[in-house]
Chains A and B, each alone.
Chain A
């Protein structure tokens, strides 16, 4: 059985690990509590841009050194930025633990030079352009903006062309100094790891982290001004698109709400990609390419996403079917055997995912960073097992409210 251990260093850095000596690999990651929701208008997209810049070198390493060393350690490494977190992680053979801790820890204190900033800005603009060619991606961004407003959780993670063009290295450095303080960061590990060695090495390397001089808080945004490059129109015109897309957002439990387990199972029953009520009505019959529903949990609230992709002429009929299926589950809940299948499917996938330290890392790191909680696998499975039909009915009533926000991506002919 894996064991959980944690500690907090004097500088404020928290370290949490799930040790499983049976693993062939060791996964490690820095989970920084900062993301798009922590940005102001002039900083829009900076969390994600900064994530790219963290690979550009430190006092001890050039950008090429960082990339080269990550490759030399042979594992899988990457980073991502969400609304609430920025995460840097790697999975390596246990013999490379010391070297990967050295590298990742060093990367957390980056050079952020002007030259690298200018080059990387182009890469970010390319990333924005790449997603502009994906109608569903645009629909999701707009749906978040419409539901949460253009700031906070509705802030685009990539920023906009306008905000990235206007970004300066000074804005980024100031943001870094405020958000990358040691107490805002969790170092998480999973798999075949030597915890004492991690703690010893991190203690040594992060001694001066508490000396980071914090820049003053930026000027708050003027809520009467709409950020540049953002729109809250219900419909996005996608003239070349072959399909029509609908994204609906409604409330859902937050990340620490015990009701989240019932809500996830309810979404599985109603709109999982296979075997759900949406599936039998719209996917198995070939009426839609995709019709799904799933919750996403944030620190202080949640969001339920309903997604539909289909031929433009079928949009209305499919939307009506979705509404009918939602009404039924609100009115009558679901059947005992549907719940049993949803549990089996979810529990099996949790067990299978837990085989890989790289998967466990995110459970450990997110849980410790966002909730200060570690849930072992057995406990998580038990929480799913305990969900009752009444819980499902309650979850449906709470999340599938009529006052949901809708966003469409449509070809011009339908507008």
Chain B
């Protein structure tokens, strides 16, 4: 949603709304969070800004009220803009020192488009150009109840909390601006030259978004590929060949498109083999998977669904993601039933019919690699 030349505005916004809101000064907000014991978080993804906290149950009413002030009545003080901009600059610089992050940030832009895949930390040009008017206009365009989601999990009385939310948010009005037209990525490979100890390899390809009815067929394949120590990438790239310490792949989704992203880090002389074996394993999914591989993945999903009940934070994260991508909360039972019903044949057939297309590979290291055509 950021204007083209204001990369990093959403992140700056997220910082600015916490610098005073409603009756609270910037310092009041932090002190109240500490006194209530809120383990708070705020952040920006490609599509959402989020504010949340885990807390002892007794702190919920005050936490809700604080959260409502932050999203509805932030002061956005002009005299704090410079400090907030400096915070953004710090973050940009810190990413420069994390090669994995650099590779994955660039890969996301290549995959989704310069705007749609823009990293939350933005870019130096965007941050340097930022004015307080940009912040205020972004706020009035996007901090609106339409499209906003509030999720709560844990020990509370629903009727009481609903009443509280009604009081705090019931008269919140306005709708979001029309979403800007999203750009699309391009299929290309890039190399970032750096005299690093490892060659850092990021790869991605087009895949179904979360809301796709067949998403779990995609996800099961990625699970066989990368979930757990017996997964194909871990076993064949790391365990059998000792090519790297880290190798992984996972699904990611915007509202309308998805992708599979992967990463491997390895010393330059073994980087070509790492890339070749990794890509070979991805292609091999379409040749077949074992019943046991799929079963192991099913048990993992089942266990994590049950254990998720021990953590209110992960329950909240799932609810938000479901609501955003699917327009409703999908229960653990429902997911379990879908997963349980998947067969090897369906998964393999899906991967055969949706063989990875538009591959992108980004490397950071002393020398570029030969990227096989896909």
* Residues on A facing B (Cβ under 8 Å): 23-25, 55, 63-64, 67-68, 70-77, 91-93, 119-123, 125-127, 129-130, 132-136, 239-243, 274-275, 279-280, 283-290, 309-311, 340-342, 344-345, 347-349, 351-352, 355-357
Which residue in B39, B197, B303 is a CB contact (below 8 Å) of A348?
B39
CA distance A349 to B270 in the complex (A): 43
CA distance A345 to B34 in the complex (A): 5
Interface string of B196-209 (1 = CB under 8 A from A): 11101000000000
- Are A357 and B84 in contact, with the CB atoms below 8 A? no
Please, which residues of chain A bring their CB within 8 A of the CB of B306? 24-25, 93
- Are A71 and B296 in contact, with the CB atoms below 8 A? yes
- Are A70 and B35 in contact, with the CB atoms below 8 A? no
CA distance A121 to B245 in the complex (A): 11
- Are B35 and A286 in contact, with the CB atoms below 8 A? no
Q: Is B137 an interface residue (CB 8 A)?
A: no
- A277 CB, nearest partner CB in chain B, Å: 12
- Are A348 and B266 in contact, with the CB atoms below 8 A? no
Which residue in A23, A77, A347, A351 is a CB contact (below 8 Å) of B310?
A23
- Are A127 and B39 in contact, with the CB atoms below 8 A? no
Q: Is B62 an interface residue (CB 8 A)?
A: no
CA distance A92 to B307 in the complex (A): 9
- Are A241 and B97 in contact, with the CB atoms below 8 A? yes
- A115 CB, nearest partner CB in chain B, Å: 11
CA distance A241 to B83 in the complex (A): 23
Known: A72-B296, A351-B56. A55 touches B229 (CB 8 A): yes
- 12 A–B contacts from the bound complex (CB under 8 Å): A55-B229, A63-B239, A74-B304, A75-B303, A123-B245, A126-B267, A240-B194, A243-B94, A286-B90, A289-B93, A341-B35, A356-B311
Within 8 A of A (CB), among B281-312: 292, 295-296, 299-300, 302-304, 306-307, 309-312
Nearest residue (CB) in A for B94 is A289
Known: A126-B266, A285-B86, A352-B56. A242 touches B97 (CB 8 A): yes
- Are B266 and A355 in contact, with the CB atoms below 8 A? no
- Are B94 and A352 in contact, with the CB atoms below 8 A? no
**6 more A-B residue pairs beyond the given contacts A123-B238, A123-B244, with a C-beta to C-beta distance below 8 A:** A71-B229, A76-B307, A133-B196, A241-B97, A349-B37, A351-B37
Which of A24, A55, A241 is packed against the most chain B CB atoms within 10 Å?
A: A24
- Are A74 and B303 in contact, with the CB atoms below 8 A? yes
Please, which residues of chain A bring their CB within 8 A of the CB of B322? none
CA distance A73 to B267 in the complex (A): 33
Please, which residues of chain B bring their CB within 8 A of the CB of A135? 97
Q: Is B89 an interface residue (CB 8 A)?
A: yes
Please, which residues of chain A bring their CB within 8 A of the CB of B334? none
- Are A24 and B309 in contact, with the CB atoms below 8 A? yes
Please, which residues of chain A bring their CB within 8 A of the CB of B195? 239-240
Nearest residue (CB) in B for A126 is B245
CA distance A243 to B92 in the complex (A): 10
Which of B27, B40, B97, B194 is packed against the most chain A CB atoms within 10 Å?
A: B97
- B346 CB, nearest partner CB in chain A, Å: 21
- Are A344 and B34 in contact, with the CB atoms below 8 A? yes
- Are B31 and A126 in contact, with the CB atoms below 8 A? no
* Residues on B facing A (Cβ under 8 Å): 26-27, 30-31, 33-40, 54-56, 59, 82-91, 93-94, 96-99, 194-198, 200, 227-231, 234-235, 238-246, 265-267, 270, 292, 295-296, 299-300, 302-304, 306-307, 309-312
- Are A71 and B300 in contact, with the CB atoms below 8 A? yes
Known: A348-B37, A352-B54, A356-B311. A130 touches B98 (CB 8 A): no
- B126 CB, nearest partner CB in chain A, Å: 16
- B289 CB, nearest partner CB in chain A, Å: 14
CA distance A127 to B197 in the complex (A): 10
- Are A242 and B93 in contact, with the CB atoms below 8 A? yes
Nearest residue (CB) in B for A121 is B242
Which residue in B39, B85, B197, B310 is a CB contact (below 8 Å) of A286?
B85
Known: A309-B94, A344-B35. A93 touches B303 (CB 8 A): yes
- A152 CB, nearest partner CB in chain B, Å: 26
CA distance A337 to B139 in the complex (A): 34
Please, which residues of chain A bring their CB within 8 A of the CB of B85? 286
Please, which residues of chain A bring their CB within 8 A of the CB of B93? 242-243, 289, 311
CA distance A365 to B84 in the complex (A): 42
- Are A240 and B302 in contact, with the CB atoms below 8 A? no
- A265 CB, nearest partner CB in chain B, Å: 12
Known: A68-B296, A133-B99. A126 touches B244 (CB 8 A): yes
CA distance A188 to B299 in the complex (A): 24
- Are A355 and B310 in contact, with the CB atoms below 8 A? yes
